[in-house]
Amino acid sequence: MKNKKQNKINFGKNGRRNNLDYSEPYSKNSSKNIFPISAMLLITLMVLSIFTIINSEEVMTSLAIQGKLKLVVIITQTISAPLDIDIKLNNDNTTVNITWESISGADSYIAHYSSNLTDLRIMGSSVINVTGIAANYWLDINANATKERYYTISSVKGTKINTSTKQVGKFDIELKQGLNALSIAFNSTEKNLSQVLRPKDSGIIKTVYLYNTSYSKIDYVNGFTKEIQLNQADAIFISSIKDSNLTLVGKVQNITINLSQGLNFVGIPSDNKIPITQTLSTNPTGCIKTIYIFNSENNYTKLDVINNNIFDFYNSNIQYLEKGKSYGIYANKSCLFQ
């Protein structure tokens, strides 16, 4: 029997193959070409994933080419979060209305609230969720159950939930008969003082002093007719004819307080109370020298500050600088209280 024609393998210099002739099998026991150079063999093993964003929808397309073309499309819809949230205290001085912008394509909304702002921001264990809200507003009929309460909103579309980075809140302040040194807990959404300062007992506020490095006096005559923008940490002194409570509402902000050289009356730049054992944050460091805590019309407590550390040399047993109160802060130079 004649042997089959053998393929010729030509070698160049250094023994390298210059030309391979695969026109016929080179082994009588081989039925396939063992050299993986066929483009079709490579294509059958390739999977290509393409990620694109089309009309605010995340589209994942997988092309699996295994002998024939298969197209698999998985669509995960996205939804925008509310950027503008507002809060208003109702005429009963106990319930609050939370409103927000309507989000196109939203199936519903979730109202989240907690008495702990830090917990709300991380959706911690204290957060209560009110689901299935169809409109862009929600009434909290139990807002007066806690001294402070903070809110944010999520948009819902299918299984997708997107939570706003904005928060609003309400804060109850105890009023004493006489002069009270307070600070605004939020950026107020109202400018008319009659809407901002609404104590539980109407008609008990007679005079308001707005003060930082200078003061302005506003008397109550058939209501406050003056409009003024009150911002978080602004100092406000209120003269009341009896003990009562005052509820403030507004938008929560992360703030930095500008201190002038000399005496400043301000609140604290914090969402929570500051322990006096905590080192203060200022820029530059060491600009705050003294903190005066107003106790009554003719009484105050003095705290010394050395290198941003608070010292109670007079054993006043003060433990915290509190939100909602104003303090006399003496700075030896202009600086930022953070």
Nearest to 152 by CA among 122, 125, 173, 132: 122
Indicate whether 250 belongs to any domain. no
Q: Give the pLDDT confidence of 72-120 residue by residue, as tens digits.
A: 445 556 899 998 999 999 988 899 999 999 999 999 999 999 999 999 9
My answer on whether 126 and 160 are in the same domain is yes
Exposure letters 181-215 (e unless 16+ CB within 10 A, then b):
bbbbbbbbbbeebebbbbbeeeebbeebbbbbeee
β-pair type (69-77, 85-89): unpaired
Other CB atoms closer than 10 Å to residue 83's CB: what's the count? 11
Helix (H, G, I), strand (E, B) or coil at 327: strand
Lowest mean pLDDT among 9-13, 167-171, 314-318: 9-13
Indicate whether 252 belongs to any domain. no
My answer on whether 143 and 200 are in the same domain is no
Identify residue 9 by its one-letter amino acid code.
I
My answer on whether 53 and 110 are in the same domain is no
My answer on whether 91 and 144 are in the same domain is yes
- Are the C-beta atoms of residues 251 and 85 closer than 8 Å to each other? yes
My answer on whether 105 and 58 are in the same domain is no
Higher pLDDT among residues 202 and 329, named by residue: 329
Q: Looking at the whole model, is its pTM more than 0.85?
A: no
Averaged pLDDT score across all residues of the chain: 78
Higher pLDDT among residues 246 and 113, named by residue: 113
**How far, in Å, CA of 335 to CA of 282, rounded?**
7
Q: Give the pLDDT confidence of 53-73 residue by residue, as tens digits.
A: 333 334 333 434 344 444 444
Domain with 215, as residue range(s), is 180-240
Indicate whether 13 belongs to any domain. no
Nearest to 114 by CA among 169, 190, 49, 172: 169
Q: Following CA atoms 174, 176, 180, 181 in sequence, which dihedral angle do they give, to the nearest 10 degrees?
A: -40
Nearest to 215 by CA among 258, 250, 181: 181
Q: Tell me if the bond preceding 25 is cis, omega within 30° of 0.
A: no
Indicate whether 3 belongs to any domain. no
Nearest to 263 by CA among 299, 294, 242, 227: 294
Nearest to 244 by CA among 178, 306, 330: 178
Indicate whether 172 belongs to any domain. no
The total number of structural domains in the chain stands at: 4
Higher pLDDT among residues 232 and 227, named by residue: 232
> Chain-centre distance of CA 279, in angstroms?
24
Helix (H, G, I), strand (E, B) or coil at 43: helix
Indicate whether 154 belongs to any domain. yes
pLDDT surpassing 90 at residue 26: no
Indicate whether 282 belongs to any domain. yes
Distances (CA, A) of 73 to 30, 50, 62, 63: 41, 10, 7, 9
